């Protein structure tokens, strides 16, 4: 699983949406290999999930294993190439 914790007021989160998650190669790779969830950490169930995972900065990107345990975390902006590399590392470690 791949979780993107964001808030409405987060400028770096908007940069990720505009410049990173729109990368075609990255989107294809993640859509084929991960269940991807975008979670507003300040609304609805996102509040409890952010607390559960100890989210304190935005964006926070988490990779979870099949049991829901965190395997990797990125806080702040990540480039498409960095996320692709991390995604490949997570998939290879399975």
Show pLDDT as tens, one digit a residue, over the chain (94 residues).
999 999 999 999 999 999 999 999 999 999 999 999 999 999 999 999 999 999 999 999 999 999 999 999 999 999 999 999 999 999 887 6
Q: Residue 55 and residue 41: Cα distance in Å, rounded?
A: 8
Q: What is the DSSP letter of 22?
A: T
Domains and CATH numbers, the chain: 2-92 (3.40.30.10)
For residue 27, count CB atoms less than 10 angstroms from its CB and return exposed for 0-12, middle for 13-18, buried for 19 or more.
Answer: middle
Q: What is the pTM of this model?
A: 0.93
């Amino acid at each position: 699983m791949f979780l993107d914790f964001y808030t409405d007021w987060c400028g770096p989160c908007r940069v990720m949406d505009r410049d990173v998650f729109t990368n075609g190669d990255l989107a294809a790779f993640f859509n084929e290999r991960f269940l991807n969830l975008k979670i507003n950490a300040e609304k609805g169930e996102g509040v409890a999930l952010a607390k559960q995972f100890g989210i304190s900065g935005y964006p926070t990107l988490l990779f979870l294993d099949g049991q829901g345990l965190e395997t990797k975390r990125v806080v702040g902006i990540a480039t498409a190439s960095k996320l692709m590399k991390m995604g490949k590392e997570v998939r290879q470690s399975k």
